[in-house]
Amino acid sequence: MTKYLISFPSEAMVLTQEQLVQAGIDAHAVLREAKAAGVWVFGGGINEDVPPVRVAADGTVTPGTYEPTQRIEGGYSILELPSRDAALEWAAKFAAACRCDQEVREFMDDPES
């Protein structure tokens, strides 16, 4: 089984407050479906109120991020699935629930993780 990241950036959800509430309800229904199917690994949203930092090998903490990752935010789900096609099917469910397109990325296999 392969782990897949299904995600979207915060700016993709252009919804009214009422639509946002319903999207949350619908997304949690998909999450519960994934748990019931035994494919849910982890999920959540990035807390955009807490600024990111970088930590060096010596423990030094520096405010900010690497340049290419300055805008990591939004919602993330990690599912363990038998195929890419299955990942695309789950992404379509999350897209319908969240009312925005979802990105699908595959994790490389690491037998120790």
User: Is residue 79 in some structural domain?
Assistant: yes
The mean of the pLDDT values for the chain is: 93
pLDDT of residue 69: 72
DSSP string, 39-96: -EEEEEE--TTS--EEE-TT--EEES--GGGTT--SEEEEEEES-HHHHHHHHHHHHH
Residue 94: pLDDT band (50, 70, 90) is very high
User: Is residue 57 in some structural domain?
Assistant: no
CATH number at residue 94: 3.30.70.1060
pLDDT for 2-50, tens place per residue? 999 999 988 898 999 999 999 999 999 999 999 999 999 999 988 889 9
User: Is residue 31 in some structural domain?
Assistant: yes
User: Is residue 11 in some structural domain?
Assistant: yes
Question: Is the pLDDT at 61 greater than 80, yes or no?
Answer: yes
pTM of the model: 0.86
Rounded to whole angstroms, the Cα distance separating 47 from 58 reads 26
User: Is residue 111 in some structural domain?
Assistant: no
Number of domains in the chain: 1
User: Is residue 19 in some structural domain?
Assistant: yes
